[in-house]
Amino acid sequence: MIDDIAQKVSERYARAAATGEQMCCPTGYNFNDLKTFIPEEVLNISYGCGTPAGLATVKAGETVLDIGSGGGIDCFEASRRVGPSGRVIGIDMTDTMLKIARRNSPIVARNLGYPSSNVEFRKGMADAMPVDDGSVDLIISNCVINLAPDKRKVFREMFRILKPGGRFTISDIVADQTVPQYLVHDTEKWGNCLSGALTVGEYIGGMVEAGFLAIHQVKTISWQKIDRIQFLSVTLTGYKFPLVQPNSHGRFATLVGPFSRVTDELGQSYRRGIPQQINAWAAQMLSAPPFQQVFVLSESPTIIGESDPRWIAVLPEQKPCVWKGDFAILTGPFIEAEDDDRHVFRRGTPIEICSKTLKVLATGHYQPHFAVINRASQDVAGTTVSCAPEGGCC
């Protein structure tokens, strides 16, 4: 079945490139800007489910790899950002797409004023990429990995080719629940970025198994619903940290909030305000961007109390709940977290929430860590419900 799926998907995208058929809809691109240096032929066959947000972090001279490069739109934008001293590699399995990308590569280089193109397009599969070990600074991908039957193999490949200290930022389609077999075996829907979707928990879990850490959500939007299954477009970032001696001199980490308790990807638990001694490996992870607003790292124990301006707590309103069919999905960078209303969220698992919790999770402190979906099939009247005096009502 795996070979059959790959063949069907390749044929589908080749047909789309030839006919102009729309697949996953490109979102977030500034086409007026891209038109200044990317030919129309490329822009017209740009498929995806999110903006390659990782390109905003690119530094001049870096090497960027795009999994499923298609006509080359993201590679050409990466080319502009890394500059003539940088390098971009695009991997795709469809000959038609590769032909278009290669044909336009020298045109883009001239439009950017480069002496020659710094973009190379290679034919290959996402789960067996023709790229050297430890040779890439940043991996990007736009609605492609869900097309691969064996995503865990793709994640292992990503980890293999990244340099120590490298990172990925990918947009992809995930589901709020396991996709049933009748959709899994629908090869037509694989090309629609649906049948191959993993749940959020399975997707992030596969990345952690491959060795990535500090995996966190950059952006999420609802995509579509089929047979009560919610499909989401989620953009994730994660890191391949350099090896350090785990028992070497570490530091202290103090959780400042907004959660009252969290467990990180290494299995270490923290309670807000209480310093926890950590080793060098954990200190390296907690120094990454998703943790910088959540922890205070120090050489000696730092206790943070409620009167400290660094203390972050978002308390629910003291009023009855209203149930509207909303569910919250923790998207990292923690495997478990608890709020001040005693809700325990486990990464990737949808938890039904009421109106009070929904408002809390919509605040700036909580929103980056959650995807929120609504499973109600129609509008809900929602009568108020009194919460239990001890603990949360959700």
pLDDT at 391 (0 to 100): 47
Confidence of residue 389 (pLDDT cuts 50, 70, 90): very low
Count Cβ atoms below 10 Å from residue 102 Cβ, excluding itself: 15
Whether 122 and 66 have beta carbons less than 8 Å apart is answered as: no
Q: Which domains are seen in the chain, by residue range?
A: 2-239 (3.40.50.150), 244-313 (3.40.5), 321-385 (3.40.5.100)
Helices (H), the chain: 2-19, 31-34, 40-43, 73-82, 95-112, 151-161, 181-184, 187-190, 200-210, 280-286, 355-361
Angle at 292 between CA 163 and CA 310, to 5 degrees: 170
384-385 and 295-298 beta bridge pairing: unpaired
Contact yes or no for 140/200 (Cβ under 8 A): no
Query: How far is C-alpha 259 from the chain's CA centre?
Result: 21
Mean pLDDT of the chain: 88
* Across 99-126, average pLDDT: 97
Rounded to an integer, the average pLDDT of 328-333 is 95
Chain centroid offset of residue 70 CA: 20
> Which of 135, 133, 207, 143 lies closest to 170, judged by CA?
143
Quickly state the pLDDT bin for 147 (edges 50, 70, 90). confident
Q: Is 383 a residue whose pLDDT tops 70?
A: no
The half-sphere exposure of 351 on its side-chain side, counting CA atoms within 13 A, is 25
Q: Give the pLDDT confidence of 269-301 residue by residue, as tens digits.
A: 999 999 999 999 999 999 999 999 999 999 999
Residue 193: pLDDT band with limits 50, 70, 90: low
